[in-house]
Amino acid sequence: MYHLIKKAVAIRKHLERNIKDKDPKFRLILVESRIHRLARYYKRTKKLPYVWKYESNTASTLVA
């Protein structure tokens, strides 16, 4: 989970610098959907608190 969030933050940072780059935008959607699926699994198995939520604007603080 940590590495997926780290990857999403890196892609988002890349997109801020290179606005016209289309492929990372698609990859970001894939990575973030993987984060949501994994979070759903972790919540179901009680490894993550039920109220935990991934938010892209606060993700960099989770990684730092």
pTM of the model: 0.87
CATH topology of domain 2-63: Helix Hairpins (1.10.287)
Whether the predicted pLDDT of 63 surpasses 90: no
- Give the CA distances from residue 53 to residues 15, 23, 41, 58, 61, in Å, rounded to whole numbers and listed in that order: 23, 26, 13, 10, 13
Say how many C-beta atoms besides its own lie within 10 A of residue 62's C-beta: 14
Smallest Cα–Cα separation from 21: which of 31, 11, 30?
11
Element (H, E) at 47: none
Domain locations in the chain as residue ranges: 2-63
CA distance 22 to 43: 32
Q: What are the pLDDT digits (tens) for 44-60?
A: 999 999 999 999 888 88
